[in-house]
Amino acid sequence: MQEVYLDNAATTRVSPAARDAVLAELTDNYGNPSSLHRKGSEAERLLRGARETIAEGLRVKEKEIYFTSGGTESNNWAILGGAKARIRQGKHVITSAIEHPSVSESFRRLEQEGFELTVLPVDKEGFIRPSDLAAAIRPDTVLISLMAVNNEIGTIEPVRELAESAKSVNPSLLFHVDAVQAFGKIPLAPKSWKVDLMTGSSHKIHGPKGSGFLYISENVRILPLIQGGGQEKGLRSGTENMPGIAGFGAAAAESLAMLDENAAYMRRVRSRLKEGLMSLPDVTLNGPADDLQAAPHLLSATFKGVRSEVLLHALEENGIYVSSGSACSSHKREMSPVLKAIGLEKQAAESTLRFSLCRYNTEEEMDYVLQVLSELLPRLRRFTRR
């Protein structure tokens, strides 16, 4: 039986280069970068090299990249640390209805602590309208957090336009972007976009789990969430996860060096899957109609008359691995906030699957997925009608 992994938005398999970098750190270059001896110096050089790789990919300064345990910590830190650092300027914050739980739950925490939250709507394709954002900004708005690529339907938000619009209304506010599904997939330029904070994660680009970054503009002050030994310039204490950072650096180097080529390839594979899905009866796609406004690796489809959990496991029995939504919320029974925000009814949302690709997937794999779906859907729909 063929195996096809299409849950890359949840996590990716580690690339050979990233695996080798992790192994070398675990077995040979195992020094603590804070140590003064040679082993420590070697670790410190590797730490700086990984930081430089990510900084170059974002076109920012090396000193503006801070390593964390992953996207969730980075998002928490940007939102909680950023808002609390500006509490004397105001207590109004803004986000959207389609953010990742690590963002939306951070804002719920701020609400509990007395901040006022505005949640922006999106249109049926998942786009945040710059005019809605501009209208929501007030003199006491201190922080905005909006994602670059939606993790369920793949919408590429107009981040540059949104940030420039926000800063034209209130230049002193902080603008944070969750770029976990964007880093290493599409070009990002936070400094020229007037973005103050940006999040990325290793395991979405064929690096190991447990490593991420937060870009903090050199002109921005945020409060640390973790206190201790003063690592990461005193803003993120704790001995650095050197195996994770080494693997992240290697994965980032690969992804960034071939960013355009990988994106074009994934778009071609995605197009093969999209065209096939559109040819199947009672299947509708969610997200942008224009493929260039959608991430190259994400596709959301609703299969009328079949519960997503049933179809997911039927595909799994055929060696095909997909998702019913965000991996961080897929065990919850509530309707996906993203699908609700774009106007799907509950029944349609409960029949929706997410297909997420990587550079290792092939068009032949998509043909196999479509063949299996064409056989499964009629059988499952007959069973459902009974």
CATH number, domain of 350, equals 3.90.1150.10
Please give the mean pLDDT across all residues of the chain: 94
Choosing from 240, 257, 274, the residue where a domain stops is 257
User: pLDDT band at residue 132, thresholds of 50, 70 and 90?
Assistant: very high
**One domain for residues 145 and 206:** yes
Distance CA 78, CA 81 (A): 5
**One domain for residues 227 and 271:** no
**One domain for residues 33 and 8:** no
**One domain for residues 203 and 290:** no
pTM of this prediction? 0.95
Q: What is the mean pLDDT of residues 152-160?
A: 98
For residue 230, the model assigns a pLDDT of 84
**One domain for residues 278 and 373:** yes
Q: Which of 209, 193, 213 is nearest to 52 (CA)?
A: 213
Of 17-31, 199-213, 249-263, 371-385, the least confident:
371-385
User: pLDDT band at residue 34, thresholds of 50, 70 and 90?
Assistant: confident
For residue 386, the model assigns a pLDDT of 44
**One domain for residues 45 and 145:** yes
For residue 151, the model assigns a pLDDT of 97
User: pLDDT band at residue 285, thresholds of 50, 70 and 90?
Assistant: very high
Choosing from 195, 229, 257, the residue where a domain stops is 257
User: pLDDT band at residue 368, thresholds of 50, 70 and 90?
Assistant: very high
User: DSSP H helical segments within the chain, as ranges?
Assistant: 16-27, 38-58, 71-76, 82-85, 101-112, 130-136, 159-169, 242-257, 259-279, 308-316, 337-341, 346-349, 363-385
**One domain for residues 273 and 144:** no
**One domain for residues 243 and 351:** no
Q: How many CB atoms lie within 10 A of CB 200?
A: 31
User: pLDDT band at residue 330, thresholds of 50, 70 and 90?
Assistant: very low
Helix axes 259-279, 242-257, angle to 10 degrees: 80
**One domain for residues 113 and 233:** yes
Choosing from 257, 282, 309, the residue where a domain stops is 257
Q: Which residue has the tokens 């002109």?
A: 219
Q: Any idea which residues carry the catalytic annotation?
A: 328
**One domain for residues 244 and 300:** no
- Answer with the residue of higher pLDDT: 381 or 14: 14
Distance CA 128, CA 98 (A): 9
Task: Encode pLDDT of 75-90 as tens digits.
Answer: 999 999 999 999 999 9
Count of domains forming the chain: 2
**One domain for residues 40 and 183:** yes
**One domain for residues 241 and 305:** no
Task: Encode pLDDT of 288-329 as tens digits.
Answer: 999 999 999 999 999 999 999 999 999 999 999 999 865 555
What's the angle, vertex CA 235, arms to CA 160 and CA 72, rounded to 5?
55
- Answer with the residue of higher pLDDT: 17 or 329: 17
Task: Encode pLDDT of 239-284 as tens digits.
Answer: 889 999 999 999 999 999 999 999 999 999 999 999 999 999 999 9
Contact 306, 322 (CB under 8 A): no
The CATH number linked to 82 is: 3.40.640.10
Of 35-44, 180-189, 247-256, 298-307, the least confident:
35-44
For residue 212, the model assigns a pLDDT of 98
> For residue 68, what are the domain limits?
16-257
For residue 31, the model assigns a pLDDT of 82
Task: Encode pLDDT of 55-64 as tens digits.
Answer: 999 999 999 9
